[in-house]
Each structure stands twice: as structure tokens, then as C-alpha cells.
Amino acid sequence: MKATRGCAAALLVAFALASRPGAQSPAAPDNIPDFSGIWDGTARARPVNSDNVPWTRGKNFPEVNERALAYMKVFDEAIAPKYDCQPATPPAIEYDPYMMEVVQWPDRVLFRYEKDDQLRTVWLDGRKPTSLDFSLQGFSVGHYEGNALIVETTNFVFDITGFDDYNGIPSSSQKRVRERYWRDGSDLRVTVTVEDPMFLRKPAEYTTRWIPGPKGYRLSAFNCDPESARASVKFMPAKYK
């Protein structure tokens, strides 16, 4: 019993140390780029997401196929799962205008998103997803390449707004998301590339940035309230009776 308590206490201390804003995990190797800390993805860092951001018509708007167009045509904003507190997923979650925390451990990188209390774990130890690993955020593996972190995520479940919730573009279980993170001065940058042969004719990508979060800032619990999430849906004229 004492040993169990000792281990639990050690784990708690380790996570607390690794979660300090702006702090490098004490266990992280020295020869990797430092992405750890709180990152600000709000309007202070970049334009806020909309039906034309980060996917901009005439620039990087995805070339969707007939299947996607059919889904987009019947899409009804009221059915968007976010109105029931279902969180955004890659490639949208990286562009949500909120704070994010990165924690680097030797065998994994943790991305904690303040919005919807989401945690994505990027495994660095070579493990592969199994057939039981399908989920909303998928299964992420990664490695460092020079000064960059490369993340590959697969094993997503079908999501009616899984590509973009502002344009009602779905994503399938064949969605693959590649993220390349690097430091640009004090900024954290990422290029997000998405493939989904069920809905996209070719890969689509955007690049964005975060700025360092406010000094001493700690992520708060979001605790999405389903009643508040859906409270304004009644203000939309109904598309379907």
C-alpha cells in the first residue's frame, strides 16, 4: 500500500512539474526543440476562425468531392455536434481561438486545449494504433525531425463537421492529419495537412501560429454546459421540419 501511494505521489509531482507554465519537462531530453508551455491561439495571435478562416476561398479552401458536396448541401447547422459540447478535432482544434498547453515527455507530447478540456497524446515510442483505437481525436504518433515535431494522426471516427464546422465539411475514418510544429522566434507555428479520400480530392493545408501565453497563466476547466451550448440554436430558422 505504501509503495502504491509513493508511486502515485511521485506521478503527481512529475505531472505538476511538467505542467508548470513555460517549464520544460525535467525528464525531456536536451536535444529536442522546446515547445513546452502555454500558447495563446486567440485573436491576439491570428485571425479568428470563420467560414473563410483558416480555409480561405481562392487560396487554400479544400477541393472537396461530390460526396462532400452532398453532405454540405444537406448539412443543417442545428445538427452540428458542437451544440452538444462535442469538441473540435484536427484540423479544426488547432485553430480554435483559445489557450493551449504543450508538455513534452520522453515518450510522448501532450497537447492540452483549454476549450472543451481536450487532451491529445502524441506517442513518440513507436507504438501503433490497434483496431480498438478509433476515437474523436484519433490516434497520434510523432517524432522530432531537426527542430520540428512531426505528428501523424489517424483512426478518427466519422464526424459530420470533422473537417470544418463553419462550412459543414465532414471527415471520415480515413482522415489523416499531419502536423509539423516548429519555433519561429518566440512563436509556435504549425502546418496542418489533411488527407481524406472519402471527402477531399487532394490534401489541404494551412499554416498558423500561437504566441506565448500570458505570464503565469494556467489553463482553466472549460466544463462545457450542454444547455448553454445549445441555447441559441432556437434562433435559427429551421431548415428541416
Q: Where does this chain bind other proteins (CB under 8 A)?
A: 42-44, 48-51, 77, 80, 82-83, 85, 96-98, 114-115, 165-166, 214, 220, 222-225, 227-229, 231-238
Provide the β-strand partners of residue 208. Answer: 190
Q: What is the C-alpha separation between 8 and 198, in angstroms, rounded?
A: 44
What is residue 11's DSSP assignment? H
Residue with Cβ nearer other proteins (115 or 180): 115
Minimum CB–partner distance for residue 131 and other proteins (Å): 33
Q: How far is the CB of 55 from other proteins (least distance, A)?
A: 13
| H or E element that contains 111 | strand 108-113
Cβ 189 vs Cβ 182: under 8 Å: yes
Q: Which residues contact 222 (CB under 8 A, 6 or more apart)?
A: 114, 115, 116, 117
Rounded to an integer, what distance in angstroms lies between the CA atom of residue 121 and that of residue 35?
14
Residue of 104, 103, 99, 90 whose CA lies nearest to 117? 99
What's the min distance (Å) between Cβ of 6 and other proteins? 36
Is the Cβ of residue 29 or residue 47 nearer to other proteins in the bound state? 47
Report the nearest approach of other proteins to the CB of residue 173 (Å). 25
Compute the least distance from the CB of residue 1 to other proteins, in Å: 39
When the beta carbons of 27 and 48 are compared against other proteins, the nearer one is 48
Shorter beta-carbon distance to other proteins: residue 131 or 220: 220
Q: Are 205 and 197 in contact (CB under 8 A)?
A: no
Which CB atom, from 5 or from 215, has the smaller least distance to other proteins? Answer: 215
